[in-house]
């Protein structure tokens, strides 16, 4: 094996050091008992992630816009340093883009961004 192939093989063995939680479920319990809990605690207890991002996508956007308790958790995550993003196309379809922005969520078209997360070896994407 030549040096360039060895370097490439070594590069592929590196583990992702950033977590992206892709929250798509409109189920409140899934938000509270999995997506939010894992994202928040991964960041809080430094479970090996250099950074944590939560992406609000699909039915989760509508749920978040309507649920005050979930909104409070989002504010806590923002204050803890978790990066918050939402799919603009989805939130526009539900008519909640402005509502999500009020909580400090970056609302943008996420198709390309998600593809980049998935293709980049530094990110581990967890879809919920």
Residue 10 lies in a domain: no
**Count of structural domains within the chain:** 1
Per run of 10 residues, the mean pLDDT along the chain (length 128 residues) is: 54 82 98 98 95 98 98 98 98 98 98 97 96
Residue 10, pLDDT score: 58
Residue 12, pLDDT score: 61
Residue 79, pLDDT score: 97
**26: burial class by Cβ within 10 Å (0-12, 13-18, 19+)?**
middle
Q: Which domain holds residue 53?
A: 15-127
123-127, strands of its sheet edge to edge:
106-108, 83-87, 51-56, 18-23, 123-127
pTM: 0.89
CATH label of the domain that carries residue 27? 3.40.1260.10
């Amino acid at each position: 094996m030549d040096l360039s192939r060895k370097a490439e093989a070594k590069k592929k063995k590196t583990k992702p050091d950033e977590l992206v939680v892709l929250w798509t479920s409109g189920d409140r319990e899934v938000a509270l008992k999995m997506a939010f809990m894992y994202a928040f605690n991964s960041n809080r207890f430094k479970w090996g992630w250099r950074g944590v991002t939560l992406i609000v996508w699909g039915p989760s956007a509508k749920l978040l816009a309507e649920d005050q308790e979930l909104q409070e958790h989002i504010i806590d995550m923002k204050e803890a340093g978790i990066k918050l993003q939402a799919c603009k196309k989805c939130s526009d379809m539900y008519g909640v883009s402005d509502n999500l922005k009020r909580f400090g969520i970056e609302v943008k078209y996420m198709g390309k961004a998600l593809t980049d997360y998935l293709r980049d070896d530094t990110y581990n994407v967890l879809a919920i």
